[in-house]
Each structure stands twice: as structure tokens, then as C-alpha cells.
Amino acid sequence: ITCSFYQKSSQPASLSTEDVSANTNGPNQDALFDDDPEDLFAEATEEVSLDSPERDILLSDGPSPAITPITPPTSVIAPRIGHTHDDMFTHSSFDEIEEEEVDDSFDINISVSDPEKVGEYVVHPVQEQKTSMSLFKQREFSVKRRFSDFLGLHSKLASKYLHVGYIVPPAPEKSIVGMTKVKVGKEDQSSNEFVEKRRSALERYLMRTVKHHILLKDPDVLQFLESSELPRAVSTQALSSAGLLRMVNKAADAVNKMTIKMNESDAWFEEKQQHFESLDVQLRKLHISVESLVCHRKELSVNTAQFAKSAAMLGNSEDHTALSRALSQLAEVEEKMDQLHQDQANADFYLFSELLGDYVRLLAAVKGVFDHRIKTWQKWQDSQILLQKKREAEAKLQFTNKSDKLQQAKDEIKDMEGRVQQDERDFEQISRTIRKEVGRFEKERVKDFKTSIIKYLESLVLTQQQVIKSYFTFRYVTASV
Amino acid sequence: MMMTEENEVESTLSVCGHNIQIAEVLKDGEMLSFLIVSQKLSGTGEYHVHRNYDDFEWLQHNLFCQEDVAGIQGVIFPPLPAKAQVNTAAKVMKQLGFLSLGEWQPYCKALEVFLQQVAAHSILSKNKAVEVFLTNPDSPGKQKVKKNIFNRLSQAVDGMRKEGHKDVDDFFQTARDHNLVLTNCTKTVTEKLLEVVQTEQKIAVACGHFSAALLLCVEPGDDPNKQAFSKVCVKLSEVFESMKKSTTGVSENDVSTMGLGLDLESRYQEAIKEMLFRRTCKLVELEHARRNAEKAKPVKKAAMEELRKAAETEFEDISRVAKEEITRFEAVRVKMLQQAMVQWCEKQLLTAKECADQFTQHLEVFRGMNFK
């Protein structure tokens, strides 16, 4: 079988600034992925059930958004296959899907454009370009989505995947002030900045989501990317990442309140938890540091512009022709510098400040899955205790003559044993999933940072070259004084 | 910044004026002490003297008080920077502007220029105080400095009224009008550049913080992903160290060339303003003397005539000297500003090239990073 989606395609002409370059040496046999490929999907049917108590906890705070019916991931495979052009998919086994998830070449490009007004709503056009991903019907897409649609997507994914250990990328923050300005049609620098900030955040959010091999196949994600019409979330108060953060924190508090003292048999989890806690502290520090840098850079731009103006005025007052010309040229150079400082401030902001902010928020999701594991463990412990009680009760009944009650007790014990086994499997499953997810997270982290840094350095080099050009021009003019 | 006299003048100075140096600045209790080095004109050898600000004031005072020199009030006196001490008050630091930066290096440069200007001045260099200041091993400034006799603009009670007094000479009316505009413009440009420099310094500090914070993100362990991330953090930290260096360089270039140049120009425009004001005051005095002479009763007439003649002579002397000074200064000023801008451009070009090279190197490092 020639598997077309394994070949490394050349980078498509990118619409977005979030290119993920394919630079791999072939399928990565990361040790963490050495599981039996069948296993992941065999569990899938049991991963999400409508009656999952974790889901209730997730949804118990605040107004619950309307969620499209949750279907088990296996449905991803079934109905769509018939629609794809790519025949090979119909022959596909779970092995190949598993292999796809470890293949680093990634063929999807998403770009989110500036908002438009459609009727009374503000929508963002979303364009995707894919090559040879046979999960999708077409190569290129363009849909229009409202901000609440993005939040709705996230809340659906969070409710489906967080509690089983998947690190679901958080959605961008809601901002009442910013949005009001845009709705009112205010056209000034701060509202333009807000629009760009949001656009970029939505784009990064989608890219992070589709980069996740499990989330990419989720029907809600596919529907989001492809359908021309999306069912509206009934409640407009979709979960923003702030809301999710609150919820995660509440879950964490619940964990603490229950004083769950988990007997951590696995040192890996303890070490990872500590590690993520200290990473959170570091990232926040870095974020504050960069924000300060961005602030000063903007200040420099303003001061440079003022300096340029004053130099121009001095040039105008100057009698001596050549000196006057030199001063005017100085003003021009400084105006150019002002522009470069602004560009630099944007680079600082989008490539670092936002990146660090994203990771601070991502770490909240990471913390969330760790807490869910603890809750899962607790559930398992509770079941075991309950089983023990039921056994004791049954033992007591042995000495009575209530045979029907005894039978009932025996039946209950059988059920309970089943539940204990299930809970144990759940716990082991979430532990496995988290291990994989953490590995994926740490790998993505390196890629993410490297990509941003390279873009940043490229912009720095470009800026310096323009600076040099400016000074050359200036030198030429002042030499004639 | 050098401004050499075009003509060879008779100077009582035994040292070379254009390369007077302030080699060192030391802390002497509360005061700053400056080591002044000047080259002997005859033969080889140097004079090394230690002077503090009081000594500079003594020198300036002596230059101001040359009543016997005709038209002395028409001289554009080289401006002396405000007094700086080991712990200078914030208000004075603000007034000093560029000169308050960089561990007193710009301040020393400004004092250096002051001495060079004095030594190069045809009238001023003849004053014995200059020789004493530059060559005498003992500090001359022990004497109490009397308030100078000149009508400082800021001290004149009716300064504003006199300042606007219409001139009898187009040359001077133009000079006064032009000076007014230039003084304001130059002051503004200097202030704005100072703000730019101060922000550049803030950026350098922020880069340093970010660079240090990144090093704290290094994660120990054998895990390849952790090692990869640690490497990224370390290399990024180096990037921001580079950025800190280059921003600091840019800011230092701004100060040492354009900053100093604009600061000097600004203070000189003030000095010209003072001189023109002195002349205007003399004009007012002269016009008074003329009226008095006209109105005088026969008894007083002769005396008034004497006063009128004296005032006229003084005014003519001042105007003559002032005209020479203004003409000389104009040529020198243009050259000085051009030099400042050229030097600024050259230094910034060099810094920018170094910076571009550094960033290109960093870029190659990151591009070459391959993580499994």
C-alpha cells in the first residue's frame, strides 16, 4: 500500500504565519509510544461515557454550555471513510492511524483572518490548507466562525478529553472591553492591536488543537473546520480559558479538600508534578519580564518619533542650508527607526509574550489532567472500600436465613468487583495517557519555542539590516555638509 | 570635540590649547576632583594638575571680571556646566541632562571642551588665570568667588522687558531673533534625545532580566526533551545578552556623539543669549545716557556728555566684539554639529553591523538545532 499521507510533502504556500515545518528523520519511535496500538482505540469506546461523573464535575460550575452529543472516537473512522477520495483509508487498520500520530510531518495549515461583520455578528474567516490528509473531504477550506464558536469547540473538547488525561489546548480569553471597542467600530491603534491580538490567538489555538493527533480526529473539530454552518451554542457563556482555569482550580481545591493523600507508587508523576509547578513559576516570571520589554520598546518608539519631530523643527529653523538638510535627514532616519521599534515591539509581543502566555495557560490544563488522575485514583479507592463493605455485609448475611438477600448481596459484589476492575483500568489508562501527553507536550514545547525564536531572530536580522541601510543613507547626505 | 583657532594668536599660554585632557575623575570627599593634563608648547612635557569645580568657577569668574578689556561683554563665554558632586541632587542631575550619565565621562568631556575653548579664545586665553589654572600645582580656587558682575538674564529684574527692546542694528536684531528660535529648538531636541537614551537604557536592563530569568528555566536530567528545552533556554538567554549589549552600545553612541554635541550647542545658544542680552542692556543704557545728555541743564551737561561718550564707546566695543564672536561662532558651530552627526552615524553603523552579525550567528545556531 502506498500511504500517501506519510510522504513528506513540500511546504504548501502558506497563508498563515504559523507554519509547522516538517523536519524529521522519519517516524519517531519514542519509547513512550511503544504501547500496543490496538490498545488505545480499544479503550476509546470506554473512555467517554455520558454518565461519567468527572464530566459532571467539569460542568457543575457555572451555566453549562450546550454540548453536541458526545460520540466515542471510533465513530471518527466509520462514517467518514466512505466520503474520502483516498481508497487506502478503507483498508486502514488501527496500526496505520497509530503510526500517523507518531509521524512528525504535519500537513495542515490554518490561518485566521481579520474579523468581518456578517449581519450583526462579528466573524473570523478561517482558512485551512491541507495536503493529503485523508480524514478530510477537501484540500482547502474556508469557513466563518464567531468567537463563541471557538470557545464552544474548546468546551466540547475539554469535557470529552480533559478528564481522561489529554492536555486540551486552552481557548483564547474573552475580553469585554476589547470586543466592545471593535463592535462599536472604533478605529484606533488600541482596538486594532486588540483585533490582531485576538486573531493571532485564535490562529494559535486552532493550530495547537489540530497538532494534537487525537483532537484532530474529533468530530467536533472536523465539523468546526469544515461545516459551513455550525449549530449555535445555546448558552452564550461558553467556557473561556479563564472559566476553565477557574474550574480546574476548583477541581484542584476539591482534591485538596478531600485531603486525597495519594499513595504515589510512581515517582515519575511526583517528579513531573513538581517540575511543572516550578516551570509555571519560571514561565510567569519570563512573561512579566517580556511584557516589561514590550512596554519599553513601545515607549522608545514614541520617544523616537518625538525626537524626529524636534530634529525636523530644528532643521527648519536652521539657516545654513547643508546643516538644515542634514538635520532633516536625521529626522527621516529617526522616523524610520520609530517604525522599526514598533515592528520590534510587535515581534517581542507576538513571538514571546503571547507564546509565554499560551504556555502558562497550557500548564493550567496540564495541572488539570494531573488532578484528574488523582480523582480517578480516589474513585478506584472508593470502589475498593465499597467492595470491602459489601463483602463484609455478605459475610454477615451468611449467618442469616435470608437467601434472597444473600443472592442480592452476591450479585452486588459481582457488580462491584467489575467496577473496581474498571476503575483500576481507568486509573491505569489515565496514567498512561498522561505519560504520553507529557512527552508530547515537552516535545511540542521545544518545537514551539524554536519556531518562535527563529522567526524572532529573522526579524531582528532584518531590522538591523534596515537600520544599517538608514545610516548609510544618512552618512551619504551628511558627507556633503 | 575640537575647535582650533584659525589664526595664530599671541597667547600668554605656555600650553597647547586644543589637546587639553581630563584624564581622570576621582572622588574627593563630597567633591569630584579632575586630573587635567596639558602639553607644554616648548619642548616636551606635560602639566598634571588636580582641580575641582570651585577652581573652574574661580577661572570663569576671572574671565568675567576683565573690565579693562574693551568690549569684554561682547564675548561669547564658553559655557561651564553646572556643578556636579559625588551625590548630586536630583534637580541638578536633571539640569545636567546628558552630562549626568555614564559615570561622569560625558561631564569630564564637557569640562575638557570648556578648557579647550577658553585656551583657544583670542581674548580669554590672554588672561593670566588660564595659565595659573592649567599649570600651577596648587589649587587656585581657595579664594571666595564674588558674584559675577554681569547682568545674567535670569538675575535681571526687568529682563523680559529689556530682552524685547528693539535693536538699532539689523544684524543684531536678526541674531537675537534667530537665537531665540534656535535656543528653544535645540533645547527641545536635546531633551527628546535624552528621553530616547533613557528608554534605551531601560530596554537594556529589561533584556538583562529576561536573559537571567531564562537561565533559571534550565532543567536537569537525562530526558532528551528536557535537555532540548534547556538548550533552547540557554541559547535564547545568549540572544538577549547580545541584545542588551547592542542596546547599551546604541545608547552610549547616542550620548557620546549626538548627545554631547547637542548639549554643547544648547549651552552655547544660552551663552549667546546672555551675551546679546548684555549688549541690549548696554543699548538701553546708552539710550538713557543720550536722553540725559540732551535734557541736561547746562550745569550737568558736560558730565552727562562724558557719560554719553563713555556709554557710546562701550556699546561700540561690545558690538564690534560681538559681531566678530557671532561670525566666528557660526562657522565653528556648523562644523561641530556636522562632526557630531557624522561620528554618531559612524558609531551607530558599526554597532548595527556588529549586532547584525551577532544575531545572524544566533540564528544559525537555532536553525542548526536538531531535536529528535
The pLDDT tens digits of the residues spanning B315-330 come to: 999 999 999 999 999 9
| B224 in reach of chain A (CB within 8 A) | no
With a CB cutoff of 8 Å and minimum separation 6, the contacts of B122 are B5, B7, B9
CB contact under 8 A, B225 and A445: yes
CB contact under 8 A, B199 and A300: yes
Residues 294-333 of A with CB under 8 A from B: 296-297, 299-300, 303-304, 306-307, 309-311, 313-314, 317-320, 322-323, 326, 330
CB contact under 8 A, B210 and A28: no
Instruction: Between A397 and B254, name the one with better pLDDT.
Output: B254
| A462 in reach of chain B (CB within 8 A) | no
Q: Select the residue of A313, A323, A467 nearest B334 (Cβ to Cβ).
A: A323
| pLDDT, average across residues B142-153 | 54
Cβ atoms of residues A366 and A166 within 8 Å: no
Q: For residue B135, is pLDDT > 80?
A: yes
Q: Select the residue of A275, A320, A458 nearest B363 (Cβ to Cβ).
A: A458
The predicted structure's pLDDT at residue B195:
97
Of the residues A282, A327, A333, the best mutation for testing chain B's interface (the one with the most B CB atoms within 10 Å of its CB) is A282
Cβ atoms of residues B286 and B315 within 8 Å: yes
| A360 in reach of chain B (CB within 8 A) | no
Cell numbers describing residue A433: 495517557
What is the b/e burial string over B242-251, where b = at least 16 CB atoms within 10 angstroms of the residue's CB?
bbbbbbbbbb
| B331 in reach of chain A (CB within 8 A) | no
Instruction: Between B209 and A10, name the one with better pLDDT.
Output: B209
Q: Where does the pLDDT of residue B252 fall: very low under 50, low under 70, confident under 90, or very high at 90 and above? A: very high
Among A361, A147, A97, A382, CA closest to A262: A382
With a CB cutoff of 8 Å and minimum separation 6, the contacts of A83 are A137
Instruction: Name the closest residue on chain B to residue A457, using Cα atoms.
Output: B363
Q: Where are the domains of chain B?
A: 1-137, 161-372
| B222 in reach of chain A (CB within 8 A) | no
The predicted structure's pLDDT at residue A257:
53
Task: Give, in degrees to the nearest 5, the angle at Cα A95 between A93 and A96.
Answer: 75
The answer to ipTM > 0.85 is yes
CA–CA gap between residue B106 and residue B93 (Å, rounded): 13
State the 10-residue block means of pLDDT for chain A, 481 residues long.
33 37 37 35 30 36 35 32 34 34 58 79 74 58 84 89 89 71 65 84 89 87 82 54 60 58 80 91 93 95 97 93 92 95 93 93 92 91 92 85 82 91 93 93 92 94 95 84 55
Q: What is the pLDDT of residues B233-244, one digit of tens each?
A: 999 999 999 999
| A225 in reach of chain B (CB within 8 A) | no
Sheet holding B31-39, edge to edge: B21-28, B31-39, B46-52
Neighbours of A202 (CB within 10 A): 23
The predicted structure's pLDDT at residue A468:
96
CATH number of B1-137: 3.30.1520.10
Residues 426-445 of A with CB under 8 A from B: 439, 442-443, 445
The predicted structure's pLDDT at residue A217:
85
Neighbours of A272 (CB within 10 A): 17
The predicted structure's pLDDT at residue A1:
30
Backbone angles phi, psi at B35, to 5 degrees: -95, 115
- Domain B161-372 -> CATH class: mainly alpha
| Cβ contacts of A443 on chain B, cutoff 8 Å | 225, 371
Range in A299-308, B53-62, B249-258 the model is least confident about = B53-62
Cell numbers describing residue A347: 515581534
Whole-structure pTM value = 0.79
CA–CA gap between residue A29 and residue B209 (Å, rounded): 39
| B368 in reach of chain A (CB within 8 A) | no
Q: Select the residue of B189, B193, B225 nearest A442 (Cβ to Cβ).
A: B225
The predicted structure's pLDDT at residue B220:
84
Among B223, B286, B351, B218, CA closest to B73: B286
SS3 label, residue B310? helix
